[in-house]
Structure 1
Amino acid sequence: MTSEINVDEESQYFHLLSTNDEPSSLEVLELEKIIQRRESKVAQLDYLWFGTPFSRNSPIEHEEHVRSMLSRFRSILSPVRRLPPEILIEIFLLTRDWTSNTYFMGELQPLVVGPRPGPSPLRITHVCSRWRDIALGIPKLWATITSCHDTYDPSVPDTDPTSDVRLHSWLAWTGTVHPLQISFNGRLLGANSEDVQATPLSWMQPYMLRIKELSLSGDFEALPGGFFLILELLIMSDFSMHSIRRIRAYFPSLRRVNFRGHLEHLPNFLPWGQLTHLDLSLETADGDTLLDILSFCFSLVKLETSFSDIDNYELDGDENTILLPSLSSIVTQNYYGEITMWLLSSLTLPFLEAAYISYETWPGPTYSAFQARSSCPLTSLTLDHAMDAERMEAADFMTLLRETPSLVEIISSNAIYITPALIAGLVSSAQASCPRLAPKLEYFAIWNAYPLANIRATTMVDDKAILDMVTSRDPSEKPAVLEANPPPGVRVFRCQVPKRPYFGLSPEGDKLEDGVSRNVHIYF
């Protein structure tokens, strides 16, 4: 009789034994009674042999079955099956990847509306029906969407985003109000032929009001008309948009735009006047078009540029420069030709505070004209130079310091050598109440990478000369300090009480495969 009851119990609760579903309150009461009976039966197994339907098996096999079923019944009542929904939600969110897979500088870091999908985003929905219902009811869990249709062909329905079941299911799981971050790859730029259309974006229409970050890569039809009401960050890479009609899309909240790779043309539908951050990381661009766009960017706070080449530009000196009255930070990663010189000669930046300038040949006269024209309160300057090119002369660097007395921080990456002339130029006379050059300077970092066969003797400066220079600039006249046990290839000089606190450096130092690095940090 007991065995028959056991078999009936297993049949009755098969839906719980074979799944991870949560039992109801009534089922919990019944299961507790079943577990008590089975625990009692297991306790008797050491003393009694039962005549059961399992008698054809050995007693050991029967005992294993009884113990196994007891464990399975107990698992039905395990706490993990009865976690409160709010705890499950936190667990689901914490198990996903919240890091960004895209490199941005500074303020152009991606906005966070939810975790990245990851390699197997649906795994948690396969545990049990309750977990699936809860997971699919968390809009934030699905708010970051990545979709690739780089093989789009209108004659192949499976490649059409408008009929992509996965894409539209994912969008449905985001609910109706949660902000969205969408990365969408269309047909590869240049892959179109005359009889193949560009990738449609009409599927985006129902979600326009909720898109907070949009990244587009490929060859597209026009954006859907209407308002991208909360869109703040727009990224376009290897991008083209084909449309014979005017795009009637509006972006009242758009502040940050990033262009990458190859663009057949810069979009003319963006609200340039309201942008605060613009990143132009392009293979090539038309100089006149860029300047025309920048002339409308009067709210721009940060500008980042990286060009392999610029077409159609002229070095006009101080003529026809563009005033950007709000720009406080500029990054120019342009190592080739006259691109940096052209950019500096084209802009007037009266409120510039931080500049990252890369170049092939230091444009001394152009920088002088730019500084005289802008009279900007520049406090942070990074000079980035190609490793195998000629460094800036000490005299040119002294001229830069005289023209920029507001500098608080200077970082040189392969821009200048540490020479006796450089150190001598920074010495302050004993009669001066403050240093004549760079009187506000707090930090000076010089990083140089040398090919092994070309370490010049002029780069070797005695530590005492640097210490004496630092001491001469300290109003307290207390002897400067050389930090003991620095990382390999690093020297750190500082005043006894520097203006900028020194907290130590990474212990690893700088390593190069084909050369040697020398890093000098000076805290005044």
Structure 2
Amino acid sequence: MATIDRLPPEVLQEIFIYACGDGSQWYYCLEVPRVEPNNWALPLQHRLLQVCRLWNAIASSSTRLWSSIAVCSLEEDDDPISPNDVANVHRLVRFALQRTGSALLDIKLDMSEELRFWRALSPVILPESHRWREFTLNLAAPLDPEDFATLRGRLPNLEWLKLESRSVGIKDIPELNDAVIQMVEDAPKLRKLGCAFRHVEMKFRWDQIQELKLEFPGPRSELSFWNHFRVAVSSTSLLKLTMSKLGSYTVPWNSAWLPVSSPSIQEFTQWQLDPWLTLLELPALRKTEINDSYHLPAFTNFIQQSHCRLTTLKITIFSFLGRVENFTKLTNLYAVLPHLTSLALFFGGTKPMDNSRNPLSPIVSPNTLPSLAVLHVHWYDWEVSRPKATLTLAPVFLPLFTSIVKAHRPALETNELLAEPILTEIRVFTCASYY
């Protein structure tokens, strides 16, 4: 204990934040257990306060530990939420807010259909709306729309709005949707929006949204929704588009939909590319990722029809297995990417293939991907130990990397002062289970 106490307070703060996070986001997370009412599992931040006076002082003064607050109610049981649970939520949220100082707040409200939660929280959370930076709201919750409508003009720091729906079977409340639109109408810094596909019909100010993330909680193929989607995606302000699915539901699609062209989207992520690639034209696209060989032909055609200068690409390969047809598909894709500077290949759950049909073998030729400057190769198999994975990869990939370096070395040595591309970086990662 004495050793760690010698660390500077700012180092301990970073350690605390790492310990309280989930890899991408740290939250002061309040989950109301339905299985055992009144049995609260306090957020990890409270444990830090109890270790010693030093840790208490450092944790209490670290606003980042307390400024991301999530209130969720679990649904494992149909037992009603007790009054004590509601009181605990109010007390603990106030406790966290008192330690945030003037820091900006990330608020996530994913509550059950319990109006008592909102009645307890609104007097604590709404007065802090001027500090909201990120706000996540479940539109299926029975909230008071009037509370949100009155927030118009009181969100000067809101950058990211996330709207969630609990399930397909629970409909949104139209009055709440309208109130949310009024709430963000005068939010000057709002640039990111996450919502379900059906929410694109809401009249957001698309001229200020730069990043749009769409979730698909169920099949929606009405033409009216596609028309609203066209309006959103056609905005010249939109730079990044992410389209994903939720659970086992598939991406909605209708053969009557007409293609849409976006003049400004530079980054696009969508795991279910077919048939979306036939409906989108993204001439400004610079960065994207695709999944496995069955998307390669459609993606190749998409690059050609968009006439884009793609520079960054990630390909995840699960079932390549060295088949000739898959190797040909990948070779054809490489041929339409003369401007690609960064390529990441992720191999997961598949055995390394021989060099003649390896996805890297076409890159040995300097005429393939002539602009390539950064090459990342990730291979992982959770059933193979790390030492065994390294021994398996070495005879397959190392000769190819040697050939790639030799093929591009003349450019590196003789043309590096010109505007011609050179291969400047190669990284090989092997990730395997320790079990």
TM-score, shorter chain, exceeding 0.5: yes
Larger % of helix: which?
2
Q: Give the counterpart of 1:242 among 173, 183, 188.
A: 173
Q: Does 1:379 align with 2:296?
A: no
Residue 270 and residue 173 in structure 1: after superposition, are their counterparts in 2 closer, same or farther (change >3 A)? farther
The answer to whether the aligner puts 1:369 opposite 2:301 as a matched pair is yes
Deviation for aligned residue 1:230: 0.9
Alpha-carbon distance, 1:269 to partner: 5.5
- Output the CA distance in 1 between the equivalents of 2:295 and 2:300: 11
Gaps in structure 1 of 5+ consecutive residues: 1-87, 335-339, 429-434, 453-459, 479-497, 515-524
Q: Does 1:143 align with 2:67?
A: yes
Tell me by how many angstroms 1:378 deviates: 0.7
Given candidates 236, 243, 260, the residue that maps to 1:305 is 243
Report Cα offsets for 1:53-109 as digits up to 9, x if no partner.
xxxxxxxxxxxxxxxxxxxxxxxxxxxxxxxxxxx99799678435673555xxxx6
* Partner SS for 2:161: strand
> How far is 1:136 from its partner?
7.7
Structure 1: distance between partners of 2:432 and 2:259? 42
- Give yes or no for contact 2:283–2:308 (8 Å, CA) kept in 1: yes
Task: Tell whether the 8 Å contact from 1:92 to 1:124 is kept in structure 2 after alignment.
Answer: no
Is 1:167 the counterpart of 2:93? The answer is yes
State whether structure 2 residue 205 is matched by structure 1 residue 271.
Answer: yes
Residue type matched to 1:97 in 2? I
Counterpart AA for 1:326? S
CA separation of 1:465/1:266 partners in 2, compared to 1, >3 Å: closer, same or farther?
closer
Show the 5 A alignment for 1:58-457. Answer: 96-97=16-17, 101-102=21-22, 104=24, 118-121=43-46, 124=49, 142-149=66-73, 157-158=83-84, 160=86, 164-171=90-97, 174=100, 177-187=102-112, 199=118, 202-203=122-123, 204-217=125-138, 219-220=140-141, 221=143, 222=145, 224-225=148-149, 226=152, 227-239=154-166, 241-244=172-175, 246-247=178-179, 248-250=182-184, 251-259=187-195, 268=202, 270-286=204-220, 289=225, 292-293=228-229, 295-297=231-233, 298=235, 299-307=237-245, 308-310=248-250, 312-314=252-254, 320-334=258-272, 340-359=273-292, 361-364=294-297, 366-387=298-319, 393-414=326-347, 417=353, 419-420=355-356, 428=365, 435-444=366-375
Counterpart AA for 2:316: D
TM-score relative to the length of structure 1: 0.55
Q: CA deviation at 1:388?
A: 7.7
Of all paired residues, the percent bearing the same amino acid is 18
Q: CA RMSD in A?
A: 5.1
Task: Please name the residue that 2:38 is paired with.
Answer: none
The answer (yes or no) to whether the contact 2:216–2:252 under 8 Å persists in 1 is no
Question: How many residues are aligned here?
Answer: 369
Separation of aligned partners in 2, 1:477 and 1:89: 45
Note closer, same or farther for the CA distance 1:373–1:381 as it changes in structure 2 (3 Å cut).
same
TM-score, normalization by structure 2: 0.64
CA deviation after TM superposition for structure 1 residue 125, in Å: 9.2
How far apart in 2 are the matches of 1:90 and 1:451?
36
Deviations 1:4-40 (CA, angstroms, capped at 9, x unpaired): xxxxxxxxxxxxxxxxxxxxxxxxxxxxxxxxxxxxx
Greater relative contact order (Cα < 8 A, sep 6+): 2
Report the alpha carbon displacement of residue 305 of structure 1 after superposing the two structures with TM.
2.8
How many Å separate the matches in 1 of 2:321 and 2:307? 30
SS at match of 2:316: strand
Indicate how the Cα distance of structure 1 residues 230 and 134 shifts in structure 2: closer, same or farther if over 3 A, else same: same
| Structure of larger gyration radius | 1
Sort the Cα spacing of 1:418 and 1:252 in 2 relative to 1 into closer, same or farther, 3 A.
farther
Going from structure 1 to structure 2, the CA distance change for 1:266 and 1:165 (only over 3 Å counts) comes to: farther
Residues 162, 194 of structure 2: 8 Å contact kept: yes
Preserved contact between residue 200 and residue 228 of structure 2 (Cα < 8 Å)? no
Give the Cα separation in 2 of the matches to 1:446 and 1:281: 29
Would the alpha carbon gap of residues 111 and 228 (structure 1) be closer, same or farther in structure 2, given more than 3 Å must change?
farther
Whether contact under 8 Å (2:104, 2:133) holds in the other structure is yes
